[in-house]
Amino acid sequence: MASAKKRTKTPAKRGARSVRTRRARTAGRPNPARAGAADADDGPSPRPAGGTATRAVRVQPLIAVRDVISSSRWYCALLDGRNLATGSDHDDVYDRVYCDEEVVLQLHSWDDEEHPNLVAPEHAVHGHGVLLWFEVADFDAAVARARSLEAEILEEPHVNPGPRHRELWLRDLDGYVVVLASPDGEVEVEVESPSHPR
């Protein structure tokens, strides 16, 4: 089995592959998750009032939590983001987490306002079959933030050789599984030819 190359100490999880961080090749690489509706040659995407990019689809997942204020602080610390910070009497019912002026997560309290599927938390395990997956440009710093929060780590930082990125799996305050991933292609995985007996 090949050993990891010197530029990274993170082993690949699967297969006999060597791994090294591909920093130079990803510098300035377009991020599909942040690309606007227009092609790259058309210049920057138009932004309406409020700084939100115009797109056909933007993912804004919402999860129900026991304590919106605590969960909002936790996610803002983990993702180095910010929340609505309205200071209203509704802050304990609903909040949003922003990163780079984009909504990346919505939080709503259980059993408030009678929204479908946001009631009776005892009916199911929270987030079973769902991963809250965040691509982060500052993966190493994000791992340090997760450790400072004393989050429950499910899988230590490792390389996923398929998308060629690094991942950290952890649980949030309500038991939802969160994945922090570096950008696709951030590491280079080389498949080694098997040796043949002579």
- Say how far apart CA 141 and CA 189 lie, in whole Å: 22
Confidence label for 193 from pLDDT (cuts 50, 70 and 90): low
- The interaxial angle of helices 68-79 and 139-148, nearest 10 deg, is 140
Sheet strands (E) in the chain: 17-21, 62-65, 82-83, 94-99, 102-109, 131-135, 152-160, 165-171, 177-181, 187-191
Q: Where are the alpha helices (DSSP H) in the chain?
A: 23-26, 68-79, 139-148
The SS3 call for residue 66 is coil
Is pLDDT larger for residue 23 or for residue 169?
169
- Per-residue pLDDT, 53: 56
For residue 11, is pLDDT > 60? Answer: no
Label the pairing between strands 177-181 and 131-135.
parallel
For residue 54, is pLDDT > 80? Answer: no
Mean pLDDT confidence for 3-7: 41
Is the distance from CB of 77 to CB of 149 less than 8 angstroms?
yes
Cα torsion through 180, 183, 185, 191, rounded to 10: -10
For Cα atoms 159, 25, 156, give the angle at the middle one, nearest 5 degrees: 15
Q: What is the pLDDT of residues 132-164, one digit of tens each?
A: 999 999 999 999 999 999 999 999 999 999 999
For residue 182, is pLDDT > 90? Answer: yes
For residue 48, is pLDDT > 90? Answer: no
- Say how far apart CA 83 and CA 73 lie, in whole Å: 8
- Give me the chain's average pLDDT, please: 77
